[in-house]
Amino acid sequence: EVQLQESGPGLVKPSQSLSLTCSVTGYSITSNYWGWIRKFPGNKMEWMGYISYSGSTSYNPSLKSRISITRDTSKNQFFLQLNSVTTEDTATYYCARERGGMTPWGQGVMVTVSS
Amino acid sequence: DVVMTQTPVSLPVSLGGQASISCRSSQSLVHSNGNTYLHWYLQKPGQSPQLLIYRVSNRFSGVPDRFSGSGSGTDFTLKISRVEPEDLGDYYCLQSTHFPWTFGGGTKLELK
């Protein structure tokens, strides 16, 4: 059974970088696509981007040059880095496998941006 | 970006009743390959979102046949018949035809 688990700090200061890890078990990240999604307070959902089985990436232009998704295939993990965060980046962050419909999702990690 | 307009925002239902959620896109979701990448998700309270329907009308593994998806082009519908307590939560549509992928605003299915 494929499972995803996000990890990372729950509190980040404004202007700093948000770094999250998605650990995948039961399936190799060298297959399919692996994405990051966030849910804001108020319930709006935003697709942030993905990394493919080959390591290529696609990002939401709304995040401009702030976002980077990378991976470590030896650990079967992929990562999210979001730079120059503001309070508007406060959200619950999810990772998910994409295979023609995102499934499964990790349990999510709540990240608050605050000084 | 493709705007996904999901209605209603809140949907009170009775157990055993039927529910219908609409998702309309600002442009056609038919991909150049002929497929339509419109999916439906349910987020139950305290859980992460789960895939219900992929590519308009395909029930994901283990999803009861009480759930059905339909539609084409820019107009899509999720129907839930014989609503059960475990169906309550927030429903979202997602289009992955056009980049960036975009979600509808969500529909909260709650007890009347």
Q: Which helix (H) or strand (E) holds A53?
A: none
Sheet hosting strand A18-25, strand order edge to edge: A3-7, A18-25, A77-82, A67-72
**Does residue A58 contact residue B111 with C-beta atoms inside 8 Å?**
no
A107–B90 CB contact, under 8 Å: no
Look at residue A100 and tell me whether its pLDDT is greater than 90: no
| pLDDT tens-place values along chain B, 112 residues long | 999 999 999 999 999 999 999 999 999 999 999 999 999 999 999 999 999 999 999 999 999 999 999 999 999 999 999 999 999 999 999 999 999 999 999 999 999 9
How far is it, in rounded angstroms, from Cα A3 to Cα A96? 9
For the segment A21-31, what is each residue's pLDDT rounded down to a tens digit? 999 999 999 99
| Angle, alpha carbons A39-A108-A22 (nearest 5°) | 120
Look at residue A46 and tell me whether its pLDDT is greater than 90: yes
Chain B, nearest residue to A93 by Cα: B48
* Residue A34 CA: distances (Å) to CA of A40, A79, B77: 20, 10, 27
Residue in this structure with the two tokens 């390959």, named with its chain if needed: B33
Q: Give the number of A-B residue pairs with CB atoms closer than 8 Å.
A: 53
* CA dihedral over B69, B74, B75, B78, signed as positive or negative: positive
Look at residue A13 and tell me whether its pLDDT is greater than 90: yes
* Encoded amino acid at B68, one letter: S
B103–A100 CB contact, under 8 Å: no
- Give the list of residues 6+ apart from residue B12 with CB closer than 8 angstroms, or none: B110, B111, B112
Q: DSSP 3-state assignment of A36?
A: strand
How far is it, in rounded angstroms, from Cα B14 to Cα B19? 9
Interface test mutation site (partner A, options B5, B23, B48, max chain A beta carbons within 10 A): B48
For the segment A54-75, what is each residue's pLDDT rounded down to a tens digit? 999 999 999 978 999 999 999 9
Say yes or no: A67 contacts chain B, CB-CB below 8 A: no
